[in-house]
A and B are shown apart, each in its own frame.
Chain A
């Protein structure tokens, strides 16, 4: 292998968009407006350390952008809760005691991540306490009667983790602060790691693309809307 030819015919835009193919159809929350990052700000960095994430806004977000981010956070909280519930339901059914213990640990971590997302949701009445109903009904319940082996259970867990990873990577660009841009990516990568090891009945799934595919992102139908939007004119 040699360094890439700079004159590669594929344009930058094409390559970037390659990573987002299907995002419009499958990403659970698409940005509804354009971003103005011309005044983006962040603190300087310590030259001797790996950069860390300052908590500063990426320019002045529009109301639409803020609303999108809130939807992302609320939806993510509901996804974490439904995945935690799946681990709690099926983890004890694993015959491998070590795997069962790991499932219990991961269930707790997903619950904590739900708290993390809820912590960034504005308004106490907007915090999400219920697992995502769409995922429960359309993804988990249909295979409930198949959860009779460790392999089947691990595959479901891997699928759910990949859903989280794909969904979260797709909303990185929606974040209105540097903190959350990094946080989405970090949480997505954690889910991707679990997906890699749990998928295919625990045999693992080898990534066949340099960019984590969006195809596993949760359906738009799983998106949560705020109470105000639900009562309003149909949302943005």
Chain B
């Protein structure tokens, strides 16, 4: 089906360039590629308008494991022995932010959804990347790539979420994770210009087509009616 890319931000190249040139990020940038080949048809491919939106529960089921993987990534970074005092404090804060995001998303899950766990594939990649990072700059580079990926993933969901209030909440997550990406990026060798595009981009995000079928998200409710 036609997808109009004309309205998309044009900053993707800059961000991609940054990601490509930052040591240790390559594996994370392709996190989506790890997921994508395992996908079947997108659950809403060919769906009628109105049926193809992303429910809160479907998105939460998809995204929470990645947020929990980020929590694990910061734990790995903190244990790496590579971070100075400033970045130790920051890493702890960023870790808390990801846990808080996971907590928020978890409340959106349906009653029948299983308790979320950190995405095993992403954790495995991060373990290798952070474990192999020989300097603080390298560790921060890995984490920057992770933040870029997560921010882009969330951004791609914002327009699709059925509940506009959830859309706004996820937009707030995007903004925070974008800040974390920028702060990590500047201290891992990226330039200010590379890190400050006019608009953020959803390019490089993990494909949302991995989200469970919205139709399976029974028990889904929205906050719209109450607002």
Which residue in A3, A51, A106, A186 is a CB contact (below 8 Å) of B68?
Answer: A3
Instruction: Report the stretch among B21-29, B90-98, B124-132, B133-141 that lies at the interface.
Output: B90-98
A174 nearest in chain B by CB position: B164
- Assuming A102-B192, A197-B183, is B93 touching A206 (CB within 8 A)? yes
Chain B proximity mask over A1-38: 1 for CB below 8 Å, otherwise 0? 10111101011110110011000000000010011011
Chain B proximity mask over A176-198: 1 for CB below 8 Å, otherwise 0? 00110111111111111111110
Contacts of A195 in B (CB 8 A): 179
Which residue in A54, A179, A183, A188 is a CB contact (below 8 Å) of B175?
Answer: A188
B187 nearest in chain A by CB position: A204
A173 CA to B208 CA, complexed, in Å? 20
- Assuming A3-B117, A52-B3, A53-B8, is B168 touching A20 (CB within 8 A)? yes
Q: Is A165 an interface residue (CB 8 A)?
A: yes
Q: Is B19 an interface residue (CB 8 A)?
A: no
Mark out the residues of chain B between 168 and 227 whose CB falls within 8 Å of any chain A CB in the assembled complex: 168-176, 178-183, 186, 192-193, 195-209, 222-227
A187 CA to B107 CA, complexed, in Å? 27
- Assuming A3-B102, A3-B117, A105-B193, is B44 touching A52 (CB within 8 A)? no
Mark out the residues of chain B between 1 and 60 whose CB falls within 8 Å of any chain A CB in the assembled complex: 1-5, 7-9, 11, 32, 36, 39-42, 44-50, 52-53
Interface residues on B, range: 35 or more
Mark out the residues of chain B between 92 and 134 whose CB falls within 8 Å of any chain A CB in the assembled complex: 93-104, 106-109, 115-118
CB distance from B224 to the nearest CB of A (A): 6
- Assuming A52-B3, A189-B174, is B159 touching A45 (CB within 8 A)? no
A16 touches B155 (CB 8 A): no
Contacts of A178 in B (CB 8 A): 159-160
B157 nearest in chain A by CB position: A51
A19 CA to B208 CA, complexed, in Å? 23
B72 nearest in chain A by CB position: A1
**How many residues of chain A are within 8 Å of chain B by beta carbon?**
81
Q: Is A50 an interface residue (CB 8 A)?
A: yes
- Assuming A13-B226, A44-B44, A211-B169, is B207 touching A196 (CB within 8 A)? no
Contacts of A8 in B (CB 8 A): 103, 106-107
Contacts of A55 in B (CB 8 A): 4, 7
* Sample of 15 A–B contacts (CB below 8 Å): A5-B115, A13-B223, A34-B225, A37-B224, A43-B49, A51-B160, A182-B158, A184-B171, A189-B200, A190-B198, A193-B178, A193-B181, A204-B186, A210-B100, A211-B172
A residues with a Cβ closer than 8 A to B are: 1, 3-6, 8, 10-13, 15-16, 19-20, 31, 34-35, 37-56, 58, 98-99, 102, 105-106, 109, 112-113, 165, 169-170, 172-175, 178-179, 181-197, 204-212
Q: A37-B162, A42-B53, A210-B98 known; 4 other A-B pairs, CB under 8 Å?
A: A6-B115, A16-B166, A31-B227, A41-B48
